[in-house]
Every structure is written in C-alpha cells, then in structure tokens.
A and B are shown apart, each in its own frame.
Chain A
Amino acid sequence: MNDMSALHAVSATPATHAGLDLARIRAEFPILRQRIHGKPLVYLDNAASVQKPKAVIDAISACYSGYYANIHRGVHLLSERSTLAYEGAREKVRAFLNAASTQEIIFTRNATESINLVASSFGGSVVKAGDEIVITGMEHHSNIVPWQMLCQRTGATLKVVPFTDAGELILEEYERFLSSGRVKIVAVVHLSNALGTLNPVKAMIDSAHARGIPVLVDGAQSVPHLTVDVRELDCDFYAFSAHKIYGPSGVGVLYGKQALLEAMPPYQGGGDMISLVTFEKTEYADLPNKFEAGTPSIADVIGLGAALDWLNAIGLNAVAAHEHELLEYATAQLQDIPGLRIIGTARDKAALASFTLQGVHPHDIGTILDRDGVAIRAGHHCAQPVMQHYGVPATARASFAVYNTRDEVDALVKALYKVKELFA
C-alpha cells in the first residue's frame, strides 16, 4: 500500500516566516517521503507521537553497531563508551530543562511511568487518609489514574479543577482547593493534548508554593513546542516522553528537585539502584541511580540526547513561531468550514486543533482523511473527562510538528470538504 519510492515533492516549500528551511528539515525525516494510498503523507498526528529525524535514527544505530554494551558495570571499553554516551544524554536533558544537576534527571520508560513514580514514591510516603490531591479536568489519563490509585490506597481525595467552555482552567476554583490546608500535591498538564490549552503553570506553582504544596507538571506535550526552564518555573517535578520530542519510544524523563528525590523511597528494586546488598539490608544508590532499577533502554536514551541536539540546532523559538503560524492558519481555515466546531479555544494555545464536524463521527473523518494520505487522530485522546465536558464521544485532532507546512494544512482542509460532500 505504501509506495516508499515515490518522493513527496517538497522542494517548492518556501522558508517560513520563522526563518525555517522546511524543505531541508523535511528531508531529514525519511518516513515523510512515502505515499499513503497513493497520496503524499500528511502527518498531523504529532501529539500522539512525532516522527524521527535521521540524526536520531543514526545515533541509535551507531550505538548498536559501534559501541553498545551494558552501562555502569563493565570495566571494558565498550561499557565505558556506552556509559559515557548514556550519561552524556542525561547532561543534555539537564541542560535542555535547565535543571541544577544531572542528579535531578531520572530516565523512565515514558511520561506515564514518570508520573507513576512520583505518585507511588512521593505520594505513597507523604499522602495519608483525609489528604487531598489536586489535578485538573483536562488531564491525560496518565495524570489521573496514578493519583486515583494513590487515593484508593491511602483514603485521600482527588480534587479536580474545572475549566471553561473555551478550555481555560478556572483558577478561582484552584485557589479555593489549595486553601483547604489538606492538599499534599498538585499535578497539572502544561499543554493539554485534547484542547491545546497552554496552562498558566508558573502562576499555579507560585500559588501552591505559597502554601508549601509541591507541584508536578505533565510536560508530555509541551517540551517539543516551547522552552521549559524548570528552575524558572520552580516546579518540583516535570515529566515527559522522548517519543513526542523527536526521540525514540521507550524512554521518558522525570525531573525532580534533588531534596525531594533524596527524601523519596525507591520506586522499583533491583540492579543499578543499590550500593550494597546483603540479605539483611540494602543500601540504595545515590541519585539518580536510586530510581533507575535494572538495565535501561540505553540506545534509546542516547537517541533522546541526539533528538535534543537536533532540536536545539533548529532552535525551539523558531519551532514555536512556525507552529504558531501553522495553528493560526489552520484555525482560520477550519473555522470557515460549515458545521465544524473547534473544541478548545483558549487564548493561550499551541500546536494542535481538536474539532468535530456536524453529522460526522470523528472516526469516519479519520478513515476518510487517511485515504487522502492525511493522518490525524480521532478519539477521546485519553482524556475522557474532557470529552464529557463538551458532550462529545470523541473529537478529530490535527497536531503539528516542526516539519509541517501550510500546504499540508490545505490538504487537511480539502480532505475535510470531501468528508462533508460524502456525508452531505
């Protein structure tokens, strides 16, 4: 079905206002060259997972074909080289987030595991019956369920900050929740994957800190689109996945303030996370190893490092400017389609547009668009409470990455008119 040899003509794509050479950027993504059902691939499902540049694919391949071995345990050269590259990637993540120390950067499997680590280790030791945990109504299931499980285990209560029809958090309610005196942690999404809302996390963190409450930020969607400085935000934990930021699947990151991480018990037990084991007692390793039990996804962590280098070379500001321009262009065109309703119209928005089309279920939209080579997401986006808020079973979602073009937005819009024609 996929004609890998047919090159998608992009040479005509002009440089963007943000100054990006899109043709060159696109040429770095081998997967974008293919056709889908005979049409050029228009990949607009970047919020689910983004495609990988050659620099990342090559870095992983170079590890496996050149210097792969297990880390932190061999005296031989390959192990030393792998360890160096793996720890080098940790330094790259530290610099990317502007964390104070590499001890604050924990590698996990994905954002979901990063959040579970905090809910289980920090939550498990701090949260007691009668306490409260504050999240928001626009969280991804991965920032809901771990806290629900913690509540079930401890007898704590989940408080959910509501949002307006535009998709903006009602901060008065947030303040009200914080003032109960029982809140032990706040967990909030930075950029909503279902609505595109950019939440005012800095102000929310300041409010929580004024009451001594720590805050976890779910940055799964935000890191590929905006500069995150964990020290400026002053967040206590920040979680994201490599696969949404041009890196491989299978790797996640948890940033945590050193003092908090030091006080927390380990999340999983095993090799690499200990300094001394006897059958009577085990002494845990220092940070960050205490939270990295077992052999990690070594080559993929190195791939994440390569992805950050690649993104830094383009510059997140230029990426953000380009994606903002695309979103505005797309929003204007989508709004013109009769019967199309954009779900999520917050003033601060980034990178994606969620929508419904009157009389057509999002799944049918997704199937029909796919036949035109346009890949979007149709469904509840792992945010069923958001769907319930708007009274829709699902939405269609187009989400952007640095390599998307205005032509691709045009292809999306054209295909949507075909959907309307078919269902007329």
Chain B
Amino acid sequence: MSDMRDLYQEVILDHNKRPRNFRIIAEPTHTANGLNPLCGDRVSVFLDIQEGVIRDIAFQGAGCAISSASASLMTEALKGKKVDDVGPLFDAFHTVVTSDSECPHGLGKLSVLAGVRDYPSRVKCATLAWHAVRAALEEHQQPVATE
C-alpha cells in the first residue's frame, strides 16, 4: 500500500475531498468544458481575466481523485497569474506528469501530482482541467476532449 501513497498523496486526497474554487463564476470572461471520453470525467472551468491577469478562476465537474485534485490545485496555482504564464506552467506540469526527468522548478504544490508518471493511463485525468483552461483561453466553442 505504501507505493499507493506515492500517487495518492495527502495533498491530493485533501483536494479531492475539499476541492478549492469549486464553484461557478457567474460572468466569466472565459470558460470551457473538458471531457475525457474514455472515463466520462468532465470539468468546466471559469476564468475572470482583467488586463491579462487571472483575477479569479473556478471549476465544476465530476471525476476521479486525480482529475478533481489536479483541477483544484490548478485553480490555486493560476489565480493571480498572468495569462502569458499559463502556457509555460502547463508545459512544465505536463513534463512532471509524463516524464522521468527531474521536476522543473517553480511548480510548487503542483508537483505532488508527479506520481502520475508511473500510471500512464491516468495522465489524462491529471491534465484534463489544464486542457480546458487552454481551450478557454483560446476561446474554443466546442468542449475539448483529451482524446
């Protein structure tokens, strides 16, 4: 069971149980839905962006612990960030959850999801909310899918 804790770290279990920013923003400037057709996980993200800065970000949806915790941690990480910083942060996060290389610096709490790299079938869970944010920023009309 000990190696299970590498994936399901306390922080992840906590964010799964009590997701942060788990709400709707009434009048978002940007919003998008993400869908993982393989497992049916869905997430909706809402952003309030003013002058290139993410003033507020929230999400709703149902999914596994990895996708819920990842969405919750993402909202914490992105609040107050510049829109231009989202891309590089997603890239760094993607590296953490997919490759065996050293954790890039500056990820903060997001690095608790590094355990996902040993579970290739779960990478899509960890990145679903991020894909949705990217779609929102690109103002996609269609829900994005991880497939």
Is the beta-carbon distance between B65 and A423 smaller than 8 angstroms?
Answer: yes
B1-31: contact bitstring with A at CB < 8 Å (1 yes, 0 no)?
Answer: 1011101100001000100000000000000
Is the beta-carbon distance between B1 and A363 smaller than 8 angstroms?
Answer: no
Binds A, one of B36-44, B78-86, B89-97: B36-44
Chain B interface residue count, CB cutoff 8 Å, equals: 23
Determine whether A367 belongs to the interface, using a CB cutoff of 8 Å to chain B.
Answer: yes
Is the beta-carbon distance between A422 and B40 smaller than 8 angstroms?
Answer: no
Contacts of B39 in A (CB 8 A): 363, 378-380, 393-394
Is the beta-carbon distance between A361 and B64 smaller than 8 angstroms?
Answer: yes
- A residues with a Cβ closer than 8 A to B are 359-364, 367-368, 371, 378-380, 384, 387, 393-394, 418, 421-423
Is the beta-carbon distance between B40 and A418 smaller than 8 angstroms?
Answer: no
The 7 closest A-B pairs by CB, nearest first: A361-B64, A363-B64, A393-B40, A364-B65, A380-B40, A364-B64, A393-B62
Additional pairs, 14, CB under 8 Å, beyond known A360-B65, A361-B64, A380-B40 = A359-B17, A362-B64, A363-B41, A363-B66, A363-B125, A364-B64, A364-B66, A379-B39, A379-B40, A380-B39, A384-B40, A393-B42, A393-B62, A423-B65
- B residues with a Cβ closer than 8 A to A are 1, 3-5, 7-8, 13, 17, 38-42, 62-66, 68, 119, 121-122, 125
Please report the number of residue pairs spanning A and B whose Cβ atoms sit closer than 8 angstroms.
52
> Given A363-B125, A367-B119, does the pair A422, B1 have CB atoms closer than 8 Å?
yes
- Rounded to whole angstroms, the CA-CA distance of A378 and B119 in the bound complex is 15
Contacts of A362 in B (CB 8 A): 64
- Rounded to whole angstroms, the CA-CA distance of A360 and B16 in the bound complex is 9
- Rounded to whole angstroms, the CA-CA distance of A60 and B75 in the bound complex is 54
Contacts of B66 in A (CB 8 A): 363-364
Is the beta-carbon distance between B40 and A387 smaller than 8 angstroms?
Answer: yes
Is the beta-carbon distance between A394 and B40 smaller than 8 angstroms?
Answer: yes
- Of the candidates B8, B38, B119, which one forms a contact with A422 in the assembled complex, judged by CB atoms under 8 Å apart? B8
- The chain A residue with its CB closest to the CB of B62 is A393
Contacts of B17 in A (CB 8 A): 359
